[in-house]
Amino acid sequence: MDLYDLFFLLSLGAGFLMAFNLGANDVANSMASAVGARAITVKQAVFIAGILNFVGAVFLGSHVTATVSKGIINPAMISDPKLIMLGMFGALLAAGIWVLIATLTALPVSSTHSIVGAILGFGLVAGGPDVVNWLKLGGVVLSWFISPFLAAGIAYFIFTQIRRDIFLKPNFLENARKYGPRWMALTMTLVGFSFMYKTPVGKQLALVWYESLALISLLSLGVWLVSSRMALRMSLTVEDGAEGVEAIFRKMQIFTSCYVALSQGANDVANAIGPIAAIYVLAKQGTFLTQAEVPIWLLALGGAGIALGIAVLGHKVMRTVGESITTLTNTRGFAVDFAAATTVLVASKLGLPVSTTHAAVGGVTGVGLARGFKAVNFGVLGKIVVYWLLTVPIAAFTSIVIFQILKWSVY
């Protein structure tokens, strides 16, 4: 067994650790609002997220992935491919360790930013400051501010609208039957655009804009008709009051949670599998490629790691985001899901490496603020922000230490 084969085997373990942490932290916090609002239990969230993430990763995940995550460094400026192999392995290990520490302390962090920080660390040591795409790194820093504030603003606006149009008017159920299906159709429109422009399968369909618009409009109309029928039937079985409104929105929130789980599996699996793919190509071809075909068994490994992560440790982060920042109900949880999905879609189209974690926490804070400052636990929120700010420098430093140890051992 040569050095490349050895590190390929080791990278499978490091990649599985990263996928495990994706499930335990990133995926868990995106299901947190549904759990916090009692739309689903923790066990149901684990089941839904585990199955749908695996399906998303294996069947919707890209079989061609960028091997250097987010283009944060230019590998062509590092002449020795062996250094890239050691660096990618060290980056995977460093990012996985940091996200695991955050998960064990029940705090949500961005695994995307962890892997970006870790690759930045080894890139600086292996090739110097010139290999780093500083503009891209600036986008990461910018997203720390844009994604949580944008999501908080959208969630605040949506929940304020729901409260004004439903809860502050007479005949709660009649208003919920009127506005609920409209929000549901709007959610379908958002999900449709997100699927078309964010998932690998949607991009492969390559529909022109008017075909996409027609298809999404048709689906949204269908969802409006079905949800109107559903809301009418439900209104006959629940009492006219706040609880009845929450029951209608509970069904809507389960739909958005399922979509989030499926799309995360399709998109985020590359964070764990991308660096393995780089080492895989080096081991098989002895050269580095910026993009590589990813075997389906590697995607399955990532999907299994994500499912195991949410099953074993997902409950920790779910409780922090869903219960510790503010009290969530189904209407507030729906506003959070809608705001987070909108933020991720808009920011991604602007080319910003936005984090679902940051958007979800921002959305939860937004609906909390809609009820006043006293409704938000700023102590918990402060700890989360400190972890966000530490993610890139700690992942970078850990990656540098691991890279140097490996370099001294190999050369």
Residue with tokens 């991308």: 274
Most confident of 27-36, 47-56, 323-332: 323-332
Say how far apart CA 221 and CA 138 lie, in whole Å: 40
Q: What is the pLDDT of residues 389-398, one digit of tens each?
A: 999 999 999 9
Question: Per mean pLDDT, which range of 73-77, 163-167, 257-261 is the poorest?
Answer: 257-261
12 closest CA partner among 268, 283, 262: 283
DSSP letter assigned to residue 351: T
- 377's tokens: 């636990």
Query: What is the number of helices (H) and of strands (E) in the chain?
Result: 14, 2
- Residue 350 confidence (pLDDT) above 90: no
- Residue 68 confidence (pLDDT) above 60: no
- In the prediction, which pLDDT does 135 show? 85
- In the prediction, which pLDDT does 382 show? 94
- In the prediction, which pLDDT does 196 show? 79
- In the prediction, which pLDDT does 139 show? 79
- In the prediction, which pLDDT does 353 show? 65
Angle ∠(14,17,22) on CA atoms, nearest 5: 130
- 61's tokens: 């995940």
Q: What is the pLDDT of residues 243-293, one digit of tens each?
A: 888 888 887 778 777 776 776 666 676 667 777 777 777 777 767 666 667
Greater pLDDT, 228 or 76:
228
- In the prediction, which pLDDT does 74 show? 81
- In the prediction, which pLDDT does 62 show? 58
**Contact between residue 155 and residue 362 where contact means Cβ atoms under 8 Å apart:** yes
- 165's tokens: 């149009």
Mean confidence (pLDDT) of the chain: 83
Greater pLDDT, 30 or 123:
123
Partner residues linked to 66 by β-bridges: 291
